[in-house]
C-alpha cells in the first residue's frame, strides 16, 4: 500500500492527503502481513541457499586440494557428511543472519566467521567424542575450514550486492522528523546494501515544513501519517534524538517493530557499542579498542602474518616491475620520502618510482597554466591525468597499486600497518586541523584504509577526515579484515586509481 502513496505523490501536487488512501484497513492489514512474511521467507531462503552453496564449495576445494589428489580418497567418503551441514545454517539463524536486516557489513562478517568456526569446532569435537574412523583427513578438515571462512562471507556479499537492487528485497522504512539528518540517513541507507533498509517516506511532524521530497523520497506532512504507514506494513522508523516530534518513543514502539534512534555525534564510535541496564537506567558504553593492549597485539600479529606472506608472494611482480622501470626511465627505481607515523615519529616510506625525475618542476609548470587543474590539485592533491607519471609502466603501476607494494616492508618493520590512515606528505597533513593530526598519531599509518576503499581518489579533504576518524574510533579486527577484502576488490577493479 505504501507504493500507492509514492505514486500519488508523483502524479499529484507533491503532498499526500488523507484521501490518497482509499483501501479498507482490514484488507490493507492482511495484505501487508502477507507481503511482509513473503519478503522475510524469500530473503531468508536466498541467503540460506547462498550459504549452503559456499559451504559445499569449501568442501569441494578442501577435497580437491588434499583428500583427493594427495590421499586418493573417494569423494563418496566425505559426501556422507553432508547432512551435518545443517549445523551451519542453524548457527547463522541463531545469530540473526536470516534475514539479517539492520546489520552492517562488519557485523555480518564477524557473525558469519564466528558461527562458521564454532560449527567446525563442534564437528571436530563430535568426531573425537564419537571416535569416528581416522580416515577422515584432518588436513582436509582445516583446509575446508579456511575456505569456508573466505567463501561464505564472499558469496553472501556478492549476492547482497545483486539482490539489494531488487525493489522487494529491502525492508521498507520511514524517517520521522525534519532537518539535514534525514538527507544523510537516506543516502547512508541507500549505499549500505547489507543493512537491507529502503526509505519509502519521510514524515514531517511539522505540517508547515516546506520540503516535498528528500533525496527522491516523498515527504508526508503531519504526525497522523504515523499510524497510517504502520498499518500499511512499514515496521521500521528512524527518529533523531532530541528532536521535538510530538510523539514519544514509547508511542512509536506500539506501532513499529523497530524504532532506530539517530544521534548526530561524530566523535563517538558506533561499532560494537554496548547497551547496559544500570538498574533500570539505560546506559550506552563506548570502548576505545585501540587502547587495549591485546587488541594492539592482535593487530600487529595480523600485520606480521599477512605482511610477510604478501611480501614473499609479490616478490616476482616487484622484480619484473623493477626491470621494466630500469628499461623505461633513467634514475632510481625506488622513491623514498619522510612521513609522519605513530606518536608523530618520522619514518621513510618506500614506493616504486612512477614519475619522471623532474616531477615537481613539471607539476609546477602544469598547474601554472591550468587554473581548473590547480583547483583539482588543491581539492584532492592528485590529478586524474598527472603529467609527472611515466607513460606506460608508470600508469600501469599506479593503476594496479603495484607501486605501493614496497610498503609491505614498512609493515613488516612496524613503521606502518596493513590498515590505517595513509601516511600523507607534510603539505597534505597541513590541511588538517591540529586535533585531527593528533588523532591520526594514535595509530600506525596504513597501506590501505577505509577512505581508500570507500571513495579512493574521488574524495576530498573532508571525506578523508571523516573516514579516517571513523576507522580510528571504531577499530576492530573485523573492520581490518573487511577493509583488506574490499581493498582486493578495489584494486582489481581499479576504481578511483590515478
- What DSSP assignment string belongs to 293-337? HHHHHHHHHHHHHHHHHHHHHTHHHHHHHHHHHHHH--S-SEEEE
CB 169 within 8 A of CB 43: yes
pLDDT score recorded for residue 153: 96
pLDDT score recorded for residue 314: 93
pLDDT score recorded for residue 77: 82
For the chain, the average pLDDT equals 84
Whether pLDDT at 31 is above 80: no
Please give the residue that has the higher pLDDT: either 331 or 16.
331
pLDDT score recorded for residue 459: 64
pLDDT score recorded for residue 8: 41
Please give the residue that has the higher pLDDT: either 141 or 362.
141
Give mean pLDDT, residues 383-396.
Answer: 80
Whether pLDDT at 193 is above 90: no
Q: Delimit the domains of the chain by residue range.
A: 2-26+169-286, 41-163, 293-354+389-493
Percentage above 90 pLDDT, the chain: 39
Please give the residue that has the higher pLDDT: either 455 or 304.
304
Please give the radius of gyration of the chain, using alpha carbons only, rounded to the nearest integer. Answer: 27
Whether pLDDT at 273 is above 60: yes
Give mean pLDDT, residues 67-73.
Answer: 89
pLDDT score recorded for residue 211: 77
Q: How confident is the model at residue 491 (pLDDT cuts 50, 70, 90)?
A: confident
Whether pLDDT at 126 is above 60: yes
Give mean pLDDT, residues 50-70.
Answer: 94
CA angle 398, 402, 408 (to 5 degrees): 130
Burial zone of 19 (CB within 10 Å; 0-12 exposed, 13-18 middle, 19+ buried): exposed
* Displacement of CA 490 from its chain's centroid (Å): 12
Q: How confident is the model at residue 105 (pLDDT cuts 50, 70, 90)?
A: very high
Give mean pLDDT, residues 459-469.
Answer: 83
Whether pLDDT at 38 is above 90: no
Whether pLDDT at 237 is above 80: yes
Q: Tell me: the pLDDT tens digits for 395-446?
A: 888 888 899 999 999 999 999 999 999 998 888 888 889 999 999 999 999 9
Entry pTM: 0.82
Whether pLDDT at 25 is above 50: no
pLDDT score recorded for residue 497: 54
What is the per-residue burial (b if ≥16 Cβ within 10 Å, else e) of 252-284? beebbeebeebeeeeeebebbeeeeeeeeeeee
Please give the residue that has the higher pLDDT: either 13 or 378.
378
127-141, 275-289, 363-377, 469-483, range with greatest mean pLDDT = 469-483
pLDDT score recorded for residue 148: 96
pLDDT score recorded for residue 49: 96
Q: Tell me: the pLDDT tens digits for 140-165?
A: 999 999 999 999 999 999 999 999 99
Lowest mean pLDDT, pick from 46-50, 386-390, 394-398: 386-390
pLDDT score recorded for residue 50: 97
Q: For the domain 2-26+169-286, what is the CATH code?
A: 3.40.50.20
State which H helix or E strand residue 184 sits in: helix 180-191
Q: How confident is the model at residue 79 (pLDDT cuts 50, 70, 90)?
A: confident
Amino acid at each position: 500500500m505504501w507504493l500507492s502513496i509514492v505514486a500519488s505523490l508523483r502524479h499529484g501536487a507533491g503532498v499526500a492527503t488523507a484521501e490518497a488512501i482509499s483501501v479498507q484497513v482490514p484488507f490493507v492489514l492482511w495484505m501487508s502481513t502477507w507481503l511482509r512474511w513473503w519478503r522475510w521467507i524469500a530473503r531468508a531462503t536466498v541467503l540460506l541457499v547462498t550459504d549452503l552453496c559456499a559451504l559445499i564449495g569449501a568442501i569441494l576445494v578442501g577435497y580437491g586440494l588434499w583428500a583427493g589428489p594427495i590421499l586418493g580418497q573417494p569423494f563418496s567418503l566425505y559426501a556422507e557428511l553432508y547432512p551435518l551441514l545443517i549445523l551451519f545454517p542453524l548457527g547463522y539463524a541463531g545469530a540473526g543472519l536470516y534475514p539479517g536486516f539492520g546489520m552492517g557489513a562488519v557485523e555480518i562478517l564477524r557473525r558469519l566467521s564466528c558461527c562458521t568456526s564454532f560449527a567446525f569446532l563442534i564437528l571436530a569435537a563430535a568426531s573425537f567424542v564419537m571416535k569416528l574412523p581416522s580416515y577422515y583427513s584432518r588436513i582436509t578438515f582445516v583446509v575446508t575450514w579456511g575456505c569456508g571462512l573466505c567463501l561464505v562471507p564472499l558469496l553472501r556479499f556478492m549476492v547482497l550486492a545483486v539482490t539489494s537492487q531488487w525493489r522487494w528485497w529491502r525492508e521498507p522504512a520511514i524517517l520521522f522528523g525534519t532537518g539535514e539528518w534525514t538527507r544523510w540517513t537516506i543516502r547512508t541507507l541507500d549505499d549500505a546494501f547489507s543493512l537491507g533498509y529502503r526509505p519509502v517516506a519521510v514524515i514531517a511532524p511539522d505540517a508547515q515544513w516546506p520540503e516535498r521530497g528528500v533525496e527522491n523520497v516523498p515527504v508526508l506532512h503531519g504526525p497522523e501519517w504515523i499510524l497510517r504507514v504502520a498499518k500499511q506494513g512499514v515496521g521500521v522508523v528512524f527518529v533523531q534524538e532530541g528532536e521535538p516530534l510530538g510523539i514519544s518513543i514509547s508511542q512509536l514502539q506500539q506501532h513499529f517493530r523497530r524504532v532506530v534512534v539517530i544521534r548526530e555525534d561524530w566523535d563517538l564510535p558506533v561499532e560494537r557499542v554496548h547497551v547496559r541496564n544500570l538498574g533500570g537506567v539505560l546506559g550506552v558504553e563506548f570502548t576505545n579498542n585501540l587502547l587495549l593492549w591485546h587488541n594492539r597485539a592482535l593487530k600487529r600479529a595480523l600485520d606480521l602474518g599477512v605482511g610477510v606472506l604478501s611480501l614473499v608472494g609479490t616478490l616476482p611482480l616487484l622484480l619484473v616491475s623493477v626491470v621494466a622501470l630500469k628499461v623505461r626511465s633513467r634514475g632510481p627505481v625506488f622513491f623514498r620520502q619522510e612521513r609522519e607515523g605513530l606518536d608523530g615519529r618520522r619514518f621513510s616510506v618506500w614506493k616504486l618510482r612512477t614519475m619522471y625525475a623532474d616531477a615537481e618542476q613539471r607539476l609546477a609548470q602544469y598547474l601554472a597554466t591550468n587554473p581548473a587543474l590547480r583547483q583539482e590539485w588543491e581539492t584532492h592533491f592528485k590529478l586524474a591525468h598527472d603529467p609527472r607519471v611515466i607513460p606506460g609502466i608508470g600508469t600501469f603501476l599506479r593503476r594496479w597499486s603495484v607501486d605501493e607494494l614496497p610498503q609491505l616492508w614498512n609493515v613488516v618493520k612496524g613503521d606502518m600497518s596493513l590498515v590505517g590512515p595513509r601516511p600523507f606528505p607534510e603539505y597534505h597533513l597541513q590541511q588538517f586541523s591540529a586535533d585531527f593530526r593528533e588523532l591520526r598519531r594514535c595509530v600506525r599509518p596504513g597501506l590501505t584504509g577505509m577512505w581508500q576503499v570507500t571513495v579512493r581518489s574521488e574524495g576530498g579533504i573532508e571525506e578523508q577526515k571523516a573516514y579516517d576518524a571513523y576507522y580510528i574510533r571504531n577499530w576492530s579486527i573485523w573492520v581490518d579484515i573487511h577493509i583488506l577484502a574490499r581493498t582486493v576488490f578495489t584494486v582489481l577493479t581499479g576504481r578511483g586509481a590515478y
